[in-house]
Structure 1
Amino acid sequence: MKGKTVVVTGGTSGIGKVAAEKLAKMGARIVLIARDKPRAEATLALLRQAAPDLAHTAHYADLSRISEMKQAASAIAAQEPRIDVLLNNAGALFGARRTSEDGLELTFALNHMSYFVVTELLLNRLAFSAPARIINTSSRAHQGARLDFDDLQMTKRYGAMRAYCRSKLCNILFTRELAGRIEGTGVTVNCLHPGFVATRFADEAGGLISSFAGVAKLLAISPEDGADTIVYLASSPEAAGVSGQYFYKRRSVSPSAAALDRKAALELWKRSAALSGLDH
């Protein structure tokens, strides 16, 4: 990873933070997209300890807002001469239905649309830097989920876990559709299930979800273990050239039947492009 630049969303806590630190120790320069400035500054301090000779930096954005997704990604594309790896890892679970300033259900906006918009705006820079890699953090939670394109924003039947599971299905559908579109560019894209990890995840969801998550985390794996497949996909020669796959514990595994639905992947792409205004 020496001489390589890695852009990370969701890199100020949990598996994203661990992955960023590990990649920095391997020689990568880290560019964070973060919402919380104190946590970003604390993460940058760790990165500078891990690799003091590299100019790690952060851009600030609320990745549930399309305007800020675009602003941060455009700034990075303009400032960075090359991008070797993009890690889309930002995500959350919300106990009650909330909407973004764009009118999107918040889980969908943050967990899926940020992946779509940031990737689209950094894609030319990644292709220029090829071989390059895109990694999307998904989850086994996608199992059993189905997208309802008549109610993609869940205005009729909202459930916190249903919204989260759908967003993780979106991550896989997006990965598979993108893989076909960028084939031959030298850029690969894969997604992964990190395992159930003991992180800040769901701490702010509120109500029973936070309580249940707190108990469940007693049985969870460490962020270090959860970040392992991310680091593998970002750096391993074995993963070079592999694209459009869903990984768990460094191995390509089969996702759900819904995640393999080509028509759903194309429809999600069209809807995401229209919602973001990136439907060129």
Structure 2
Amino acid sequence: MKTLVISGGTSGIGEALAHTYLRRGDNVLVIGPNPEKGKKFLAVADGLGARQHAFFTRADLSLVAENERVVKEIKEQFSAIDALVLCARFFRSFRRVTSEGFEHNFALYYLSRYLLGYGLVDLLEKAPEPVIMNVAGPGVEAGRIHWGDLEMETGYDGWAAMFQGGKLNDLLGVSFARASRGYRTRYVLDFPGGTATGFAGEFEPVTAARVQEMLRYAKPVEAGIAPIVSAIDAPPAEPLSGFFEGRRLHPRHFSRHESDALRLDALTKKLLAP
């Protein structure tokens, strides 16, 4: 029996993964901001006869304090975690700043994944084959990192913020998997491609139309999660690996970014220090 923690586990790919592992009889804790979706997840577990294996934690993961609370509660609840699955993301056409002063996309899509990964790594290290599955954007060429303005105070664009988030998570994986850290936990980055699970966000009309057009051609969620399930069930041997729509990325995709990964790690620690 595995124990999985899934951020963004009450909708989309995270929800599909949660149901998959509940049906197998594994322990699944999902994290999400909406209590009604949490109740729905627990009701599904009841229907599967798996209520004792289902857990819901309500949290706004765009807040550093909420991530820290969640990490503390999980450590009190479980002695080990087999897989941490990072799915939480929310598109915003217009820039929004959290109550802690961080740009929302940067906070939810990157900082939360940083905090949960490092915060729970000690529980992961106690599992037989631990893995962090970061569902982000490896292999996507669009976008860039705005080093001088990571939170995009100038010229914010929703797509640019999302693409930057994917690249920041690439660097997070590189930093986490550095040999000097000595973790047994495997770090896997996966871009499943467009899946017919919806696209969470707040959109202006042009973007809303674009999203609807994308969903028309999206693959079934079962196809999207298949490579993710495979990597969770049998984590790759390498400390860091990436998949683009099921295709394994060459290690060079990550190794060429080692200096940028160190730079981002230092910047992140500085941002979180207060």
TM-score, normalization by structure 2: 0.92
CA spacing shift, 1:53–1:240, aligned 2, 3 Å: farther
Q: Give 3-state SS (helix, strand or coil) of 2:240's partner.
A: coil
Find 1:253's aligned residue among 249, 254, 265: 249
1:228 partner letter = A
The aligned runs of 1:164-243 (5 Å cut-off) are 164-180=162-178, 184-236=182-234, 239-243=235-239
Taking every aligned residue pair, what percent have the same amino acid on both sides?
24
Render the CA deviation track for 1:230-261: whole Å, top value 9, x for unaligned: 2111113xx34233111134442148968841
CA spacing shift, 1:111–1:260, aligned 2, 3 Å: farther
Is the CA contact 1:98–1:105 (under 8 Å) kept in the aligned structure 2?
yes
Q: What is the aligned partner in structure 2 of residue 101 from structure 1?
A: 99
Q: What is the aligned partner in structure 2 of residue 73 from structure 1?
A: 71
Is the CA contact 1:130–1:187 (under 8 Å) kept in the aligned structure 2?
no
Q: Unpaired segments of 5 or more residues in structure 1?
A: none
Query: Aligned equivalents of 1:11 and 1:260: distance in 2?
Result: 32
Is the CA contact 2:195–2:218 (under 8 Å) kept in the aligned structure 1?
yes
CA spacing shift, 1:260–1:49, aligned 2, 3 Å: farther
Q: What is the aligned partner in structure 2 of residue 152 from structure 1?
A: 150
Is the CA contact 1:197–1:226 (under 8 Å) kept in the aligned structure 2?
yes
For the aligned residues, what is the CA RMSD? 2.2
Render the CA deviation track for 1:40-69: whole Å, top value 9, x for unaligned: 111122234335264311111101011111
Is the CA contact 2:130–2:185 (under 8 Å) kept in the aligned structure 1?
yes
Is the CA contact 2:25–2:53 (under 8 Å) kept in the aligned structure 1?
no
Alpha-carbon shift at residue 203 of structure 1 (Å): 4.8
Is the CA contact 2:45–2:51 (under 8 Å) kept in the aligned structure 1?
no
Query: Aligned equivalents of 1:259 and 1:159: distance in 2?
Result: 28
Is the CA contact 1:117–1:276 (under 8 Å) kept in the aligned structure 2?
no
1:106 partner letter = H
1:41 partner letter = K
Find 1:36's aligned residue among 34, 37, 44: 34
Is the CA contact 1:127–1:186 (under 8 Å) kept in the aligned structure 2?
yes
Q: Give 3-state SS (helix, strand or coil) of 2:186's partner.
A: strand
Is the CA contact 1:143–1:256 (under 8 Å) kept in the aligned structure 2?
no
Query: Aligned equivalents of 2:224 and 2:255: distance in 1?
Result: 22
1:87 partner letter = V
Find 1:129's aligned residue among 127, 130, 133: 127
The aligned runs of 1:48-67 (5 Å cut-off) are 48-50=46-48, 52=50, 54-67=52-65
Query: Aligned equivalents of 1:28 and 1:182: distance in 2?
Result: 32
Query: Aligned equivalents of 1:173 and 1:110: distance in 2?
Result: 16
Q: Unpaired segments of 5 or more residues in structure 2?
A: none
Q: Give 3-state SS (helix, strand or coil) of 2:92's partner.
A: coil
Q: Give 3-state SS (helix, strand or coil) of 1:152's partner.
A: coil
CA spacing shift, 1:203–1:62, aligned 2, 3 Å: closer
Query: Aligned equivalents of 2:254 and 2:183: distance in 1?
Result: 27
Query: How many residue pairs end up in the alignment?
Result: 274
Query: Aligned equivalents of 1:93 and 1:256: distance in 2?
Result: 29
Query: Aligned equivalents of 2:139 and 2:99: distance in 1?
Result: 26
Is the CA contact 1:34–1:60 (under 8 Å) kept in the aligned structure 2?
yes
Render the CA deviation track for 1:208-240: whole Å, top value 9, x for unaligned: 21121012211111222221222111113xx34
Q: Give 3-state SS (helix, strand or coil) of 1:97's partner.
A: coil
Alpha-carbon shift at residue 182 of structure 1 (Å): 7.2
Render the CA deviation track for 1:110-168: whole Å, top value 9, x for unaligned: 11111001111111111122421110011258413221221111111211100000001
